[in-house]
Structure 1
Amino acid sequence: MKPYPTEDELPTFKTLNEVDFSATYSYADYLRFEFEERLEIIKGHLFKMSPAPSRIHQGILANIFGPIYNALNGKSCRVYSAPFDVRLAKKSVDDKEVFTVVQPDIVVVCDPTKLDKRGCIGAPDIVVEILSPGNNKKELINKYEVYEEAGVKEYWIVSSSDKTFFRYILDDSGKFQPTKLLTEGEEVITTIIPGFKLILEEVFQD
């Protein structure tokens, strides 16, 4: 009897057409994707990411990343922008047992033990998603659930089309609590980054 192939011997996915979107995938499968298209795995299900972000999307990302980066200078927390894999493990951190792998636009990680050469394993302290046309449902429903379950402390949702900023904050019971919808002319502060201030008029400035 031919032995079952080891993980190194398993076939790779060279094109997106080889992927069965009805199947269940783990991070071990994700590592075998060799095509250029970016995918995320949420609870074992594959989701196509939007095409290359627009210029406006990239500008908003830079306008948020910059102030966070500056505020973290000399502090233990780190900030990363996509593409950056965040593996949200549940029972085991083994690659074959991790069924959620996402690439948020920006993450802040304050626990250095969660960082490795492949990205972040565990919940970041802050996750920022900048909505793009066509992916709003995924961000607002699917990712809300996995971020809450994983224990992400703050989940920021930024809409480039509406120029709005919305934030969920994890309470002591492990549930997200919504905050006020903010827009241009208002500011954002967070207890996770002391001294940090995000001026939304500057965020949406083109």
Structure 2
Amino acid sequence: MITDSNELDLNKTYSYADYLTWQFDDRVELLNGKIFSVGSTPNTTHQRISRELAGVLYNFSHPRSCNLFAAPFDVRLIDSNKKSKLDKEIFTVVQPDLCVICDDSKIDERGAIGAPDLVIEILSPGNSNKEMKYKFDLYEEAGVLEYWIVNPADKTIFIYILKENQFIGMHPLIEEDTIQSRLFPNLDFQLAKIFN
């Protein structure tokens, strides 16, 4: 059992089975077995945007038997080659800012196992590389159907749709635009509501 994150070897590859033995307060994610700190507490702007998006998504998903989850919520992504759900064979555990899961069989008491339908990550200083590079690739490989990257600094949202196992980027959206999900066509709202 590891009780201090400083005891972890950053060069080692860890599994979800290892992750379950860690008894410390620091939030971390596993990306292909490598440890990434979730970082400090999100700033106020991040929290406001997350709250507004959660409100919109809750109102949309609640009557549709989909589930909305906000961080911290562990999502175990399954290796597309192995398809194993064994803890010792899962090497990616992420905590998306928000995710929508419409398949109840993917949800258990420890979080979710398998790709959410929709994942939203809100950029904060210091996490842009992780969200736009590492997680982008992992979400694509895992089969996330729609991925939104929210940039509070520029008041923009980038939407990626999974098509033939590859993310296709939609036109970037700015504050004056109305967002409409390809995955959930009835989910549409003005971005100004999120950023103001």
Q: Given the two structures, how large is their TM-score scaled by the length of structure 1?
A: 0.91
Q: Which runs of 5+ in 1 are unaligned?
A: 1-11
Q: CA RMSD in A?
A: 0.9
Deviations 1:52-99 (A, max 9, x none): 011110000011110110012221211110000000012211000000
Listed one character per residue, the Cα deviations across residues 24-46 of structure 1 (whole Å, up to 9, x for unaligned) are 00001111111111000001111
User: Normalising by the residue count of structure 2, what TM-score does the alignment of the two structures yield?
Assistant: 0.96
Residue 88 of structure 1 contacts residue 101 of structure 1 at CA under 8 Å; is this kept in 2?
yes
Distance 1:194 1:71 in 2: 11
1:59 maps to 2:48: yes
Moved over 2 A (4+): 191-195
The answer to whether the aligner puts 1:113 opposite 2:102 as a matched pair is: no
Q: CA deviation at 1:190?
A: 1.6
Q: Find the partner of 1:197 among 172, 188, 195.
A: 188
Summarize the alignment of residues 145-184 of structure 1 with structure 2, pairs less than 5 Å apart: 145-171=137-163, 173-184=164-175
Given that 2:161 and 2:182 are in contact with CA atoms closer than 8 Å, whether structure 1 keeps it comes out as no
Q: Which of 53, 68, 86 is equivalent to 2:57?
A: 68
Q: Distance in 1 between matches of 2:69 and 2:123?
A: 18
The higher radius of gyration belongs to 1
Counterparts of 1:181 and 1:43 in 2: how far apart (Å)?
29
1:48 aligns to what?
37
Count of aligned residue pairs for this structure pair: 193
> Contact 1:64–1:198 at 8 Å: present in 2 too?
no
Check whether the contact 2:30–2:93 (CA below 8 A) recurs between aligned residues.
yes
**Distance in 1 (alpha carbons) for counterparts of 2:194 and 2:75:** 24
Post-superposition Cα deviations, 1:155-201, rounded to whole Å, max 9, x if no partner, equal 10001111110011001x11100111111111111243342213210
Give the conservation status (yes or no) of the 8 Å contact 1:148–1:176. Answer: yes
Counterpart amino acid of 1:192? L
- Equivalent runs, 1:20-35 vs 2, <5 Å: 20-35=9-24
Q: Deviations over 1:74-125 (max 9, x none)?
A: 2121111000000001221100000000000000001111011111100000
Q: Distance in 2 between matches of 1:65 and 1:95?
A: 29
- Identity between Structure 1 and Structure 2 (%): 47
Structure 2, unpaired ranges of 5+: none
